[in-house]
Amino acid sequence: MRIRLCLAALSLVGGAGVVTLATPAASAAACTDVDVVAARGTFEPGTLGFIVGDPVYSALQRRITGKTLSSYKVNYPADLSPTSAAQGNTDLVNHVSQQAAACPGQRFVLVGYSQGANVVDNSIGISSAGAVVGSPIVATLPAAVEPRVAAVLLFGNPIRALGKSVTGVYQSRTIDFCATGDPICQSGGTDVAAHLGYTANADAAAAFAAGRV
C-alpha cells in the first residue's frame, strides 16, 4: 500500500488521461449535528481515506462531545484523470447543498487530502487549476450554506505549491497542513514520504474543528 501511494505521489504531475465514469448525484443522509465531508487523496484506500479521512473522523468523534456526527466520503475517482477533481467538486457541493436543505440545523466540517484538498478548494471558491491533479472550479457552495461550514481541514494541499492558499470568508475557519519537503504542496519539495505522514496531524486538525462547531 505504502509503495503504491508513493508511486502515486511521484506520478501526480501530468498523468495521462484516463477514462472515468460520471459521478452519481449525492443524496441526503441522516440529520446529525455535524456532517464530516471527506475527499480522499489520489488512489488513497480506506473508508474516508486511510491516511487522513479515517483518523481525522476518529479524532473528531473523541473531541466533539454532546453532538452527533455523521460522515460522507466524496464520490469521485481520485485518480489521475483530468476530470477527477472536477467530479469531486461537483459531488461535494451537491451533497452539502442537499444536506443543508434537508437538515436546517446541521453544520459541516470539510476535509481534503492531496487531490481531495483540490476538491475542497474548488468547492469553497479557490481554483485548483494548474495545481497537481487540479481542475477549474465547476461548482461552489451556495452563499446561504457558507455560515454552516464550521471548519475546513486541508492536508498536502497542491495549490500551496503555486503560492496560493485559502482566502476570503473561509480563511479563518481553515487549517492547512503542508509538511516540510512534501513535493505536492511545497514547491521544490523532494520528500515523498512527507506526503504520506499527515495522520500525525489528525488530532490537531480535530481540535481546531472542535472549537468551531
Q: Is-catalytic flag, 114?
A: yes
**Which of 35, 54, 95, 195 is flagged as catalytic?**
195
Q: Is-catalytic flag, 182?
A: yes
* Region for 81 from its dihedrals, namely left if φ exceeds 0, alpha if ψ lies in -120 to 50, beta otherwise: beta
**Which of 35, 121, 176, 182 is flagged as catalytic?**
182
**Which of 114, 123, 128, 135 is flagged as catalytic?**
114
All cell numbers assigned to 88: 469531486
Local structure of 13: helix, strand or coil: coil
Q: Burial of 80 by CB count in 10 Å (0-12 exposed, 13-18 middle, 19+ buried)? A: buried
Instruction: Fill in the amino acid letter for 29.
Output: A
Alpha-carbon span 14 to 111, nearest angstrom: 24
All cell numbers assigned to 189: 519539495
Alpha-carbon span 114 to 78, nearest angstrom: 10
Instruction: Fill in the amino acid letter for 170.
Output: Y
Q: Is-catalytic flag, 95?
A: no
Alpha-carbon span 93 to 8, nearest angstrom: 26
Alpha-carbon span 193 to 181, nearest angstrom: 9
Question: Annotated active-site positions, please?
Answer: 114, 182, 195
